[in-house]
Structure formats: C-alpha cells, structure tokens
Structure 1
Amino acid sequence: MSLDLSIPVLVVDDYQTMIRILRNLLKQIGFKDVDDA
C-alpha cells in the first residue's frame, strides 16, 4: 500500500502548539500541502 503525499491535509485543534507539532510531523513525513484551521 502506498501513501499519496500530494493530498491536501487540514490540521484542526484547539491548541496552537498541537497544530504546530502535527504540521511539522506531517511535513517531516513528506506531506507537501498541509494547512491549519
């Protein structure tokens, strides 16, 4: 099974710190289109 790293990802959380952590992890994995709300 392969993972499509080009799909857009939306990170939603109450805490800005958690959003930042998740964004950084997703970028490290290789996701290119990461946005937050």
Structure 2
Amino acid sequence: MNCVKLLLAAGLLLSLAACNTMAGFGKDVQEGGEAIEKSAK
C-alpha cells in the first residue's frame, strides 16, 4: 500500500513539473512571436 502511495505522489509531482515547463515554453514562444511581429511593423 505504501508503494502505491509513493508512486502516486511521484506521478503527481512529475505531472506538475511537466505542466509548468510546458507553460513556460509556451510563454517564451509567444514572446518571441510578438518580438518578430513588432520588428515587422
């Protein structure tokens, strides 16, 4: 039973970390696109 709880906790932490990383990546891409858009005007 303890092993199952440990695996669930580890999975939750990994999913949160991955979600945060993808959100940061999305913001970086968006900012890069906005910079290109500004320079084109």
Question: Structure 2 length as normaliser, TM-score?
Answer: 0.39
* Structure whose residues are more often strand by fraction: 1
Higher RCO (Cα < 8 Å, 6 or more apart):
1
Q: Which has the greater radius of gyration?
A: 2
